[in-house]
Amino acid sequence: MFAVSSTPAPRPAAHPALAGVGRALPPHRYDQETLSAGLRTLWGGQGVERRVDRLHRAVSVEGRNLALPIEQYPTLTDFGATNDAFIRVGTDLACEALEAASAAAGVPLAALDALFFTTVTGVATPSIDARVINRLGLPRHVRRFPFFGLGCVGGAAGVARMADYLRGAPTHAAALIAVELCSLTLQHGDPSVANLIASGLFGDGAACVLATGAEWTPRRPAALGRDRPRPRVVASRSVFYPDTERVMGWDMGSGGFKIVLSAGVPDVVEQNVGADVDAFLAGEGLTRADVDRWICHPGGPKVIDALQSALGLAPEALEPTRRSLATIGNLSSASVLHVLADHLDETPPDGQGRAMLMAMGPGFCAELVLLTW
């Protein structure tokens, strides 16, 4: 007779750790009024000047960084030119974010075993992660996982998939890079409300999370010599909402990426997120009351309000998310990683507790990631 026993749940220390986060923003920064004025000029004669001002004020963004100087945008009249700019600037920002994450984590680039990459604002073959490997001299045997099309959910989904990988390869170190240059998708000849909102809401930037498996050991004594607590990825859940393709995404045409952005996004969030989060937490033996911090993607003021309502949160719970939106706009997949970095910066040396990292995006879908310190 053989005794049969269930496998014990992994101890917290057995989960992959988020060792460091790096951020990168292009140097061309403008306040919202300057950007609105430039777009009023670009769309002059199309009768949308007043709508530009009204919609840009409504998105609660105070300023953003752009991939290019503002005066260059009127010259970008075809997809080839904008995509070339995406590859050039995107590679620069990806390298900057990865190097910053490596420094924050104390993990040298030579120790990386896998590189995840996500974007939805440009295309490249080979993808930008290959260019990063060449420029920074990453190991020749690094495993590459480029993702395209996840949009705003890409940062949270990328963290979850990277953690999945590290559970299967616990001695490895991996990095996720998110690069989004949303300004390069601007459609000059499209005065639709969706395009006008996008022109006021989305910004440009990149972020990188470097993670280590539970059995990863430094290859030099100084590595991982940081005092700040490192959150560990305990569990994740993907949620897909059938027949919602037209809630958010892109239509592709001769001019490149044309935004699909339904006014119903906040309704989808408010109607579904509460029950989905509760079901996910219940599977871990937890409730919302057990979550100390909410690391949420800043989709826009109405989406943030819907999250607050659906989850029954106090206003201050999403203050870092609102602050990120106001300061740099919605960076699509990179945004939730910027919010994560803000939370890590504010974690005291003896910090502990649980956090929910979450985002929603094209599909329409959600990604929920449970972290613990």
286 C-beta neighbours (distance < 10 Å), count: 17
pLDDT at site 6: 41
Distance CA 184, CA 186 (A): 6
Burial of 11 (0-12, 13-18, 19+ CB in 10 A): exposed
> What percentage of residues in the chain have a pLDDT greater than 90?
71
pLDDT tens digit sequence for 183-216: 999 888 788 888 888 889 999 999 999 999 999 9
Burial of 27 (0-12, 13-18, 19+ CB in 10 A): exposed
Tell me how far CA of residue 119 lies from CA of 126, 135, 193, 213, 331, in angstroms: 13, 19, 24, 24, 10
**What is the set of domains in the chain, with CATH numbers?**
13-212 (3.40.47.10), 232-372 (3.40.47.10)
Which of these ranges, 1-10, 279-288, 317-326, has the smallest mean pLDDT? 1-10
pLDDT at site 204: 98
pLDDT at site 45: 61
According to DSSP, the β-strands at 248-253 and 63-66 are unpaired
- Asked if the model's pLDDT at residue 4 lies above 50, the reply is no
pLDDT at site 351: 66
Please report, as a single letter, which amino acid is at residue 371. Answer: L
Mean pLDDT of the region 60-74: 94
pLDDT at site 154: 97
Q: Tokens in use for 172?
A: 């490895």
Mean residue pLDDT of the chain comes to 90
By annotation, the residues acting in catalysis are 152
pLDDT tens digit sequence for 131-141: 999 999 999 99
Instruction: Place 50 in a pLDDT band, splitting at 50, 70 and 90.
Output: confident
Distance CA 76, CA 373 (A): 46
Q: Which residues pair with 180 in a beta bridge?
A: 205
Could you tell me the sign of the dihedral formed by the alpha carbons of 193, 198, 199, 201, in that order? positive
3-state class of 331 per DSSP?
coil
pLDDT at site 371: 96
pLDDT tens digit sequence for 303-331: 999 999 999 999 999 999 999 999 999 99
pLDDT at site 1: 35
Give the residue among 304, 306, 303 at the shortest CA–CA distance from 320: 304
Burial of 253 (0-12, 13-18, 19+ CB in 10 A): exposed
pLDDT tens digit sequence for 119-163: 999 999 999 999 999 999 999 999 999 999 999 999 999 999 999
pLDDT at site 12: 46
3-state class of 26 per DSSP?
coil
Instruction: Place 225 in a pLDDT band, splitting at 50, 70 and 90.
Output: very low
pLDDT tens digit sequence for 228-278: 678 999 999 999 999 888 888 878 887 888 888 888 888 999 999 999 999
pLDDT at site 5: 38
